Amino acid sequence: MRAPFSLPMLLLCSAAIAAPLPTPSRPITSPTALSSPTNPSARPVPLEDLVYSRNVGSVAWSADGRQIFLVTNLTGRMNIWRMESSGSWPVQLTQSDDVQSDLVVSPDGKTLIFAQDKGGNEFHDLYAVPTAGGPVTKLTDTPDMRENGAVISPDGRSLAISTKRKVDGQVNLAVLDLATRQVRWLTAEKDPQRRWSAVGWGDGGRTIIANRTNANQTASEIWSVDAASGSARMLAGKPDTRFIAADVSPDGRTIAVSSNENSSQLRAGVLDVPTGKWRWLKPTPWEQTAAELSPDGKTMIARTVEDGRSALSAVDVRTASERRLDLAPGELRCWGSGLLTGFPAPSRAPLGCRYSRRHSCGRYGQLGRAAPDPDGDGKPRPRDPAEVADRHLQEL
């Protein structure tokens, strides 16, 4: 049964977020005090280098954390490749002239699900390919409908997806049954400015946590939707305010959130769903966003942009205390879903986080894997260098 949007809404009262701290003052730099570094070995840039461009799109971990699936244009098309997380020569899994995106790995690790449109029309269908390699299977075939943003259920039988008819402005939330390939709408959004997107499954796969955002992204709400009936309740939302869920713990009790409530910038925190209580990270003059929760729901990755450079931190969900990840400075960003994964020796490496470090020239991003505490010695550092994947991209 599809539930209409006009269901009674529950708005949980949250502790007010403090106003943003002022940006630290700095003296104005004198142009005469600046000197540009020189390289006597520099040579003119060949024309081929100016047009040579490689990029990394959607990224996903394998179920056991030993492999990485990524969308990249090594051959000129944004197709799917597989490589060892410790570094290896990439293997191409799909071939298509159309862009592929939204990678999702099944819980048993055997299937990779992705979205693909046709000729750039942005009306995506969903597909599946064996992670070991094999033929691609089309899961949906709806030329006048868009299905994307898939999040797989814990039992691997269903996908929570965003869906949009070509004649509509609004985007609804739906469930795709992977056995029957039938799509069942959960919402019946009436506002053409609103977009529903799934964040994760909670309560053993009985509920879906979703964001409901307006088109210009100036307001966003967090909802809990029953996966069977479509009944929904609002967990967080206020007029002209952004509450953005980034992830949900498997039991559905904890949600990683970014919000600009009572502020002009985003700040990261966690929402305890049963009690409605919030735990926010300590105030900072810089914009901060929640990224993802660890599989046990005890750790959150947060991103802080400090004076144009970003940093990632591991946050204790219970206390909101932060531990900065020891990564090289630059533009660090967790891409896509499945940022955190278990490792074979959980006592030594409980988490792993993908991150990117973009070159200033914008040619491509570097992809790396980091662990908050890989050696169990209290010293967070990268488990594998960011250059691993980047080096292989350059070698092709």
For every one of its 396 residues, what pLDDT tens digit does the chain have, with 9 covering 90 and above?
444 433 333 333 344 455 567 777 878 888 888 888 888 998 888 888 777 777 888 888 898 888 999 999 988 899 999 999 888 889 999 999 999 999 999 999 999 999 999 999 999 999 999 999 999 999 999 999 999 999 999 999 999 999 999 999 999 999 999 999 999 999 999 999 999 999 999 999 999 999 999 999 999 999 999 999 999 999 999 999 999 999 999 899 999 999 999 888 999 999 999 999 999 999 889 999 998 898 888 999 999 998 888 888 999 999 999 999 887 767 776 654 444 443 332 222 234 444 444 433 333 345 555 544 434 444 443 333 233 344 444 444
Kind of pairing, strands 187-188 and 3-4?
parallel
Q: Could you tell me which of 76, 145, 85 has the C-alpha nearest to residue 115?
A: 145
pLDDT, position 340: 44
Alpha-helical (H) ranges within 231-283 are: none
Tens-place pLDDT, residues 315-374: 999 999 999 988 776 777 665 444 444 333 222 223 444 444 443 333 334 555 554 443
Do 159 and 176 meet the contact criterion of CB atoms below 8 Å apart?
yes
CA distance 289 to 18: 15
CA of residue 51 relative to chain centroid, distance: 29
Kind of pairing, strands 194-202 and 322-324?
unpaired
Domain locations in the chain? 1-12+53-241, 286-396
CA distance 164 to 173: 9
What are the structure tokens assigned to 13, written together?
A: 């009262």
CA distance 340 to 204: 19
pLDDT, position 89: 86
Calculate the CA dihedral of residues 290, 291, 295, 297 and round it to 10 degrees.
Answer: 0
What are the structure tokens assigned to 120, written together?
A: 């750039």
Element (H, E) at 127: strand 125-130
pLDDT, position 19: 59
CA torsion sign for 76, 336, 177, 179 is: positive
pLDDT, position 374: 38
The domain over range 1-12+53-241 is classified in CATH as 2.40.10.120: no
The DSSP line for 334-360 is --SS--B---SSTTT----EEEEEE-T
pLDDT, position 368: 55
Q: Give per-residue burial for 4-23: e unless 16+ CB within 10 Å, then b.
A: ebeeeeeebebeebeebeee
How much is the pTM?
0.81
What are the structure tokens assigned to 117, written together?
A: 């449109």
pLDDT, position 125: 97
The helix/strand/coil state of 27 is coil
pLDDT, position 234: 97
Tens-place pLDDT, residues 200-219: 999 999 999 999 999 999 99
The helix/strand/coil state of 36 is coil
Q: How many residues are there in the chain?
A: 396
